Amino acid sequence: MKEHYDVVVIGSGLGGLVSAIILAKEGRSVCVLEKNNQYGGNLQTFVRDKTIFDTGVHYIGGLAEGQNLYRYFKYLDIYDDLNLQKMDANGFDIITFDGDPKEYRHAQGYENFQNSLIAQFPEEEIGIRQYCTALRETCNKFPLYNLKQGKPYFEDQELFGQSARDYINSFTDNKKLQAVLVGSNLLYAGEADKTPFFVHALSVNSYIESAYRCVRGGSQITKLLIRQLKKNGGEVYNHHEVVDFEYADKKIVSVSTKNGKKIKGALFISNIEPKVTVKLVGVDKFRKSYTNRIEQIESTISAFSVHLVFKPKTFKYLNKNHYHFKDFNRVWNGHDYTQETWPESYLASMGVKKVMDGWADQLTAITYMRYEEVAQWKDTFNTVAHKNDRGQTYDGFKADRAEVFIKELEKKFPNIRDCIQSVYTSTPLSYRDYIGCNQGAIYGYTKDVNNPLKSFISPKTRIRNLFFTGQSLNMHGILGVTVSGVVTCSAILGDEYLLNKILESEKVSI
């Protein structure tokens, strides 16, 4: 490790690694510091009962040749080595509801998506077509989403203030279709009174264009990014938790790590969420209005997941996700569960083995869980690197919730219990401790149509050599965070400069 770097990146989540590679490719000396044993943040996989599970990469959109994420991953030189499995073209997401035996399909490709919905709701053809046009028109307003030069989207007030629920409901009065169109809203923790239409559009559009799973999990993305970072001269260190930022002459001069190192730099990029970063740097280093706003931004809800290992050759592999709701009138209300109604909705998804034989080795099901449910254990901290038993009451709580959740899954997959070999769980505390995010928030900060600028985070801060990246600015998700890395580096290198470089690299590779 050197004493001084051009760029020090704190956190090796996707945004941190993307920013690090871009700047290393530009000839800067770059060092990434990660607190965990495993790099990648939400890209991490974990092994239980000899079976690989994902944390935050269940499927990825926009990866077919020529699409947006494909083009960014080509620039980062990781696309060609990715091992992907294309999901079911005629239904990568299946939306279902209690009391309705039908499986409503979201198909890949706009023509296919439209036609399959029209076949399922023949009397709603006009509304379905208008909805698809609105999705594409909205996505076209985001230049970097389309690798185009253009004005930043935050200047468009109407776009920010448009509610997903209201706009979608304007295309059809059919309540079931309205529910089907937003059936994958766990993807962005959608809330009826808050979620903007652009958040819905940017999320679902990329999957409609193409949907893939990572063979043996999403940590392959981390490995490929780190390989490229090192190839370009960058360095990355695990077990290096940043605990302090040293400040002098109105800039950050170094960071200190828990293991007693001090790393100096010219530029610092924080991939830790802004609420936490501001506290580490010191609130007195920023304007009071800024720290107040950051403090008051609402975090997205957290989650509870069951990770099921199946007995060999008992549960068929399903090349699609299942989003299930108890009540189609409450598709936007999964957050507002009570102890009696939990879980109101869930996503069930499975991993892809190295050699597929038609059988699944595992399934992960995710549902919402508020942090308050685990708040009584908030003073414990538990990761692989820092073992700390949270106690028997916590184990009992997890076992109880897992049982309720599995009973719910049995309604959709009647034979599932007989196939289960072992059960593992993640709670809001798992997400908090592994990622370092506020209250285990799954997707950073809530975007709210009623106050669009409240959750807006610029990559630049008042401290001229401190920048943010990651899911708290821009959008969450693999695509959204890749773009956030580009946004951060554009703020450093110049807006047009970086995109031109990316576009030029495409010409060279043709």
| Binding site residues, ligand FAD, CB under 6 A | 10-16, 33-36, 41-43, 56-60, 241-242, 271-272, 303, 366, 431, 435-437, 442-443, 470-471, 476-478, 481
For residues 181 and 161, give the distance between their C-alpha atoms in angstroms, rounded to a whole number.
20
Residue with tokens 């993640």: 426
Please, what is the minimum distance in Å from the beta carbon of residue 360 to ligand FAD? 17
Please, what is the minimum distance in Å from the beta carbon of residue 246 to ligand FAD? 14
Closest CA to 54 of 361, 422, 416, 357: 361
Contact residues for 402 (Cβ-Cβ < 8 A; gap 6+): 306, 423, 425
For residues 100 and 111, give the distance between their C-alpha atoms in angstroms, rounded to a whole number.
26
Q: Which is nearer to ligand FAD, 57 or 139 (CB)?
A: 57
> Residue 174 — left, alpha, or beta (φ > 0 → left; ψ -120 to 50 → alpha)?
beta
CB 23 within 8 A of CB 237: no
Sign of CA dihedral 79, 212, 225, 151: positive
Q: How many CB atoms lie within 10 A of CB 264?
A: 14
Please, what is the minimum distance in Å from the beta carbon of residue 312 to ligand FAD? 26
For residues 294 and 266, give the distance between their C-alpha atoms in angstroms, rounded to a whole number.
25
DSSP letter, residue 260: S
Q: Which is nearer to ligand FAD, 315 or 346 (CB)?
A: 346
What is the CB-side half-sphere exposure of residue 50 using CA atoms within 13 A?
5
Please, what is the minimum distance in Å from the beta carbon of residue 176 to ligand FAD? 25
Q: Which is nearer to ligand FAD, 182 or 366 (CB)?
A: 366
Token representation of residue 468? 């943010």
Q: Which is nearer to ligand FAD, 94 or 272 (CB)?
A: 272
Please, what is the minimum distance in Å from the beta carbon of residue 403 to ligand FAD? 20
Please, what is the minimum distance in Å from the beta carbon of residue 476 to ligand FAD? 4
Please, what is the minimum distance in Å from the beta carbon of residue 73 to ligand FAD? 13
Q: Which is nearer to ligand FAD, 35 or 71 (CB)?
A: 35
Q: Which is nearer to ligand FAD, 213 or 326 (CB)?
A: 213
Q: Which is nearer to ligand FAD, 181 or 263 (CB)?
A: 263
CB 212 within 8 A of CB 86: yes
Token representation of residue 125? 């053809």
DSSP letter, residue 454: G
For residues 139 and 68, give the distance between their C-alpha atoms in angstroms, rounded to a whole number.
11
Please, what is the minimum distance in Å from the beta carbon of residue 54 to ligand FAD? 8
Q: Which is nearer to ligand FAD, 351 or 470 (CB)?
A: 470
Q: Report residue 17 CA to chain centroid gap.
A: 15
Q: Which is nearer to ligand FAD, 58 or 285 (CB)?
A: 58
Token representation of residue 385? 């690197």
Please, what is the minimum distance in Å from the beta carbon of residue 174 to ligand FAD? 28
